[in-house]
Amino acid sequence: MQKCERKHSRCSISNESLPTRVIDVTSLTLRLVESKPTSTGTYAALSHCWGMCRSFLTTRSNLADRKSGFNIDDLLATFRNAVLVTKSLGIPYLWIDSICILQGDKEDWEIEGSKMADVYSNAYLTIAAANAAGDAEGFLKARKPEKILPVDIRFASSEKNIDEREIGIYIQPRCQPTTVYEPLDGRAWCLQERCLSPRILFFDTNALRWECIEKGWFEAGRGFKRQRLIVQEVIPRLLYNGTISYIGWYNMVENYTTRAISYPSDKLPALSALAAYAARESNDKYIAGLWKGDLRRGLLWCRQVRRNFRAHEPSKPFEDVRKSLDTAIAPSWSWASFQSAIHFTVMDPSSTDLEVLSCTNVIDVSIIVPGKNPYGEVASGYLIISAPLISFATDIGWDTTDVSEIAVNRAWEHNVLLCPELEIDISVESSFDHPAEIRCEVFGLPLTFSVDTAGNFYEEGDHIGRIKGDGEGWKIVHGIILCRKDDGGDRDCYVRVGCFRIHPVRLSDFMARVTEMPRRMVKIV
């Protein structure tokens, strides 16, 4: 911590203003302090898994008691541990969400929730109770030193040119931040806390771990470079060639959607602090988990198949990932509407060169935010896109009544749609969000294209009889699958039900076909 404070210019806290409420830990009796907007000070913030046991929550009715003072023994184990760590590091204040935000008070929660970016990014230190699945557990536990301490193996050599001295090898367990998945790694709320904190002290199962913006250290002494999941990597940023990269954001969202969340309606709020920070820094407009500056790429997400899930991901019954339009927590085109892990096409190693199609333009996008946090819950929203709509034949050759896990994963990944309208020799691969949605009439809205590496390879080998190219090369066209919103009204109102890719295509052939098709004003809700 001292090394970081003295030597790391990027880690220094530029804004020392205190959160609205903090716990004063300087005396034996702890006190909740309400700060003024001008108050400054040094504080630690706690990142923790709440777990099942909830006690000592601050509410509007007990606020006065909390301010007059309370005993450390009144707190759950994780909070007692956090007070102890804060005190022993000489930090005067501690911020814990369940004590410093009024619980059960929607207005206070929304106001304080929208300030969460500042709470974590201005904290002198974030204490990560990584090894505790719930607040009753505590994180200062006995550890197993044999799991982290290096082993010195010495042996003598029989070779003559090596003198009598002993030589040895020094073996240390492979200490990667991802070696052990801690309970904290699986919780959705904790991702933004991690990204926003300039300095984090992790209390892992086997060791202490330090991560600041510039460096990371394990307790056994080995350092590592902190590369991902820091806010600087997540913000949309201008590249040297004048384009803006959103890859860091998409990478973070993929990680986020593998994490567990207790209430589906928290899906966007639990990311809102990070979104607020990124919007402020990038000047881009944040729309239900996506960015206005990159919508045509951002709309291309699909369900991540189960095999890619991380080991800790709790198994989700198939029914739970179903999108229900009645209880939608985001528009159907937002990844936040889908209650399981997603994958962005632009994150495919073969599709990083995703370019937008000139035939498709975003005309308007709008969302309705019901609460006080502009980056939080979304009540509804629409997207109006000017594009040709491709009709897909729904005879896809698999049993849509079979909704077993295996059948569904297979269908999501491999079913092939027929596309008579385009009349070119192509295959359409589709990934449906839910197999029931496959039964309705479906349309393809093309968004982007990328180089078809495999298609060009075959062409060179010439073993599928394709004529040598004209230099244009084979491409893959990517888009989303829509079906009409079933409300009997607007025929051009659709919902997203999946995504597709058409390949291999010559872009000039494809564009010639779609240019002949009528351009539609498509509203997607």
Based on CB atoms, which residue is closest to Zn ion, 8 or 372? Answer: 8
Based on CB atoms, which residue is closest to Zn ion, 207 or 213? Answer: 213
Based on CB atoms, which residue is closest to Zn ion, 226 or 372? Answer: 226
Contact 281, 234 (CB under 8 A): no
Based on CB atoms, which residue is closest to Zn ion, 1 or 368? Answer: 1
Footprint of Zn ion (CB under 5 A): 4, 8, 11, 212, 214
Based on CB atoms, which residue is closest to Zn ion, 165 or 225? Answer: 225
CB of 366 to Zn ion, least distance (A): 41
CB of 47 to Zn ion, least distance (A): 17
CB of 25 to Zn ion, least distance (A): 23
Contact 476, 449 (CB under 8 A): yes
* Beta bridge partners of residue 482, listed in sequence order: 443, 496
3-state secondary structure of 52: coil
* Closest alpha carbon to 379 in 433, 436, 334, 434: 334
Based on CB atoms, which residue is closest to Zn ion, 226 or 506? Answer: 226
Q: What are phi and psi of 90, to 5 degrees?
A: 75, 25
3-state secondary structure of 128: strand
* Other residues' Cβ atoms within 10 Å of the Cβ of residue 516: 9
**DSSP per residue, 352-409:** TT-EE-TT-EEEEEEEE--SS-TTS---EEEEEEEEE-EEEB---SS-TT---HHHHH
Contact 126, 195 (CB under 8 A): no
Work out whether the CA dihedral 223, 86, 101, 262 comes out positive or negative: positive
* Closest alpha carbon to 525 in 495, 482, 489: 495
Contact 192, 271 (CB under 8 A): yes
Cα atoms found within 13 Å of the Cα of residue 176, Cβ hemisphere only: 7
Based on CB atoms, which residue is closest to Zn ion, 15 or 327? Answer: 15
CB of 305 to Zn ion, least distance (A): 38
Cα atoms found within 13 Å of the Cα of residue 451, Cβ hemisphere only: 10
CB of 214 to Zn ion, least distance (A): 4
Residue 157 tokens read as: 């050599």
* Closest alpha carbon to 201 in 151, 150, 251, 131: 131
CB of 197 to Zn ion, least distance (A): 11
Strand 427-432 versus strand 380-388 pairing type: unpaired
* Beta bridge partners of residue 24, listed in sequence order: 31, 93
Residue 407 tokens read as: 């059948």
Residue 159 tokens read as: 């070779």
CB of 199 to Zn ion, least distance (A): 6
CB of 465 to Zn ion, least distance (A): 60
- CA angle at residue 362 from 361 to 368, to 5 degrees? 170
Based on CB atoms, which residue is closest to Zn ion, 70 or 202? Answer: 202
Based on CB atoms, which residue is closest to Zn ion, 105 or 214? Answer: 214
* Closest alpha carbon to 20 in 108, 138, 128, 141: 108
CB of 3 to Zn ion, least distance (A): 7
Based on CB atoms, which residue is closest to Zn ion, 154 or 225? Answer: 225
Select the residue whose beta carbon is closest to Zn ion and give its number: 212
Based on CB atoms, which residue is closest to Zn ion, 42 or 409? Answer: 42
